[in-house]
Amino acid sequence: MSFFATTSSAVGYSFLPRFQRRRTPQFTMVLRSDHSVSVDPITILTKLKDECATPTPLLQQVADAMCAQMRAGLAADGGSGLPMIPTYVHDLPTGNEKGLFYALDLGGTNFRVLRVQLGGKDERVVATEFEQVSIPQNLMFGTSEELFDFIALRLANFAAKEDGRFHFSPGRKREIGFTFSFPVKQTSIDSGILIKWTKGFAVSGTVSPIKDCKSSDLTRWEPPALSRPFLGKDVVACLNEAMIRQGLHMRVSALVNDTVGTLAGAEYYDNDVMVAVILGTGTNACYVEQINAIPKLQGYASSSGKMIISTEWGAFSNGLPLTEFDREMDAASINPGEQIFEKTISGMYLGEIVRRVLLKMAEVGGLFGKSVSQKLAIPFILRTPDICAMQQDNSGDLQAIRSLLYDKAGVESNLSERKTVLEVCDTIVKRGGNLAGAGVVGILQKMEEKSEGLIFGNRIVVAIDGGLYENYPQYRAYLKDSVKELLGTEKSNNVVIDHTKDGSGIGAALLAASNSMYKHNF
């Protein structure tokens, strides 16, 4: 996954650009005001480092607070804790599953369909195929029937292309695992009620609000308040009904989000996997919890005595080391006051925080000279892959950073300024990676409460997916260092942090298999 493909939207990951000799910048420059109070960039950097510092005691406080908020979220919905959403996944793949299963991964402006042939203990995953489909913009603002009919049609076309590598037992209905990475209140393994659309979607339940709009209007169209919105509908029922309308003999047997799919996909190959984390554009984490540790599910019967819980840890905010740049970014966001942990550690925001720091250094500290590039003032003009590329520049004169600053922000820079930029990037990324590690430790601490020493006393695997973790080596190192620092050498030696690439799609197919209506035939 790229940094911006955590939930299926695909944007390419950019590595170091080649430096080329350039003329004077062709970007609009604004002279700094003579009346502004001059603050040396190093002074701003020193304050930033102090406010972003994550010493061990602070990280332990974050881990403890995460654990406490998890406990509160398990006790009751709507309290002061994290959402801690029950997934109703308590039967993970065993390896005995056989047959042909499908997966549908919907979580952004693209969706992915997969088919997987499972061969049981001896053969495991025999063959896989997948196809990625872009969702037309008008369907993002259309009706639920239009959206799901489009998905079902492309799914039917994909299913029709089964070749000789895939074998389907006659008389069986094809089954599919549905990865739906929008907020859902799950009511069973194969049903869930939509809480809200995110990521630019505004799907209604009835008449399309843009049927009569011209395509040229779509880029500036804002969806009106809908009298009969899609909210409150069972997303699985909508997909099942659309598949029936398309004549597709298929049913959803498992509804999951991308973290749950990642856990299932990783656990299929390693039985010690008990936690999964997504670190990409956004972030979330799930883990295996004991049923008797979930008071809000009192009386619920689980065949395994366990259930995967989606923490929705992006909503965590207790005790985080925040700066003026974080607060300004949050205030300007579409959800101010929400998802603070996500805004501190995930790929959507790290580059933007760096940009805001550099803009202040330029405006009041004279970084990059007497004038300020207006391009640097554009929100999100610096993306997390850009600051990652800067941190990979090992050249003596940091020419790759010079090239990237020119291309992205419209500024020329000298070596001293480029070193300052590098320190800003490292400060923000170190804080993000360390806090993510503290979050992982908080989950492990919560699991230890009911395990009677089985977590820290045995091997446990944390599966992590997402472009931020995969492509940013400094971030990855800071996360691991944080976990080791908090747990100590002895305990941390039992904790394996494993990168699981693109596991959510396979995981969804595996969960379709483990929850199959035909599983007694395996």
Strands 273-279, 250-256: pairing is: unpaired
Q: Is residue 349 part of a domain?
A: yes
Q: Same domain for 435 and 336?
A: yes
Distance (Å, rounded) from C-alpha 93 to C-alpha 336? 39
Please tell me whether residues 72 and 144 are part of one structural domain. no
H or E, element range at 306:
strand 306-310
Do 250 and 338 lie in one domain? The reply is no
Domain count for the chain: 2
For residues 357 and 48, the answer to whether their CB atoms sit within 8 Å is: yes
Residue 356 forms part of a structural domain: yes
Whether 15 is covered by a domain: the verdict is no
- CA quadruple 297, 299, 301, 304: dihedral sign: positive
- CATH number of the CATH domain containing 92: 3.30.420.40
Q: Which of 261, 305, 286, 311 is nearest to 91 (CA)?
A: 305
Are 81 and 153 in a shared domain? Answer: no
Cβ 18 vs Cβ 395: under 8 Å:
no
Residue 116 lies in a domain: yes
Q: How far apart are CA 69 and CA 119, in angstroms?
A: 41
The verdict on 81 and 92 lying in the same domain is no
Q: Where are the alpha helices (DSSP H) in 127-257?
A: 137-140, 144-159, 235-245
For the ranges 88-92, 295-299, 391-395, the one whose mean pLDDT is highest = 391-395
The reported pLDDT for the residue numbered 97 is 87
By annotation, the residues acting in catalysis are 199, 258
Residue 8 falls within a domain, yes or no?
no
Q: What is the pLDDT of residues 326-383, one digit of tens each?
A: 999 999 988 899 999 999 999 999 999 999 999 999 999 999 998 899 999 999 999 9
Q: What are the tens digits of pLDDT across the range 121-180?
A: 888 888 889 999 999 989 988 899 999 999 999 999 999 988 777 777 777 789 999 999
The CATH number that applies at residue 390 is: 3.40.367.20
The answer to whether position 222 is within a domain reads no
How far is CA 191 from each of CA 88, 91, 256, 291, rounded to the nearest angstrom? 10, 16, 10, 20
Report the chain's terminal Cα–Cα distance, integer Å.
32
Confidence of residue 225 (pLDDT cuts 50, 70, 90): very low
The single-letter code of the amino acid at 312 is E
Q: Are residues 185 and 293 in the same domain?
A: no
Percentage of the chain surpassing pLDDT 90? Answer: 62
Q: Cα–Cα distance between 93 and 90 in angstroms, integer?
A: 10
Query: Looking at the structure, do residues 251 and 274 belong to the same domain, yes or no?
Result: no
d(CA 159, CA 115): 8
**Residue 5 included in any domain:** no
Judge whether residue 267 has pLDDT over 90. yes
**pLDDT of 512 higher than 80:** yes
Check if the beta carbon of residue 427 is closer than 8 Å to that of residue 461.
no
Report, as an integer, the average pLDDT of 104-118.
Answer: 87
Neighbours of 489 (CB within 10 A): 8
Q: Grade residue 9 by pLDDT with cuts at 50, 70 and 90.
A: very low
Same domain, 251 and 127: yes
Q: Is residue 425 part of a domain?
A: yes
Do 64 and 98 fall into the same domain? Answer: no
Report the interhelical angle of 41-52 vs 350-365 (nearest 10°). 150
Residue pair 47/324 in contact (Cβ under 8 Å)? The answer is no
- Please tell me which residue, 282 or 421, carries the higher pLDDT value: 421
**pLDDT band for position 410 (cuts 50, 70, 90):** very high
Residue 238's φ and ψ, nearest 5 degrees, are: -65, -40
Structural domain boundaries enclosing 153: 88-206+231-256
Q: Write down the residue that tokens 């492990």 correspond to.
A: 444
- Same domain, residue pair 236 and 351: no
Is the separation of the CB atoms in 479 and 235 below 8 Å?
A: no
Q: Supply the Cα-derived Rg of the chain in whole angstroms.
A: 24
CA dihedral 432, 311, 336, 408 (to 10 degrees): 40
Of the candidates 466, 458, 491, 450, which has an alpha carbon nearest to the alpha carbon of residue 67? 450
Examine the domain organization and report whether 355 and 377 are in the same domain.
yes
Residue 367's nearest CA partner among 354, 378, 380, 379 is 354
Helix (H) / strand (E) containing 110: strand 110-119
Q: Do 120 and 40 belong to one domain?
A: no
Confidence (pTM) = 0.84
pLDDT tens readout for residues 443-455: 999 999 877 677 8
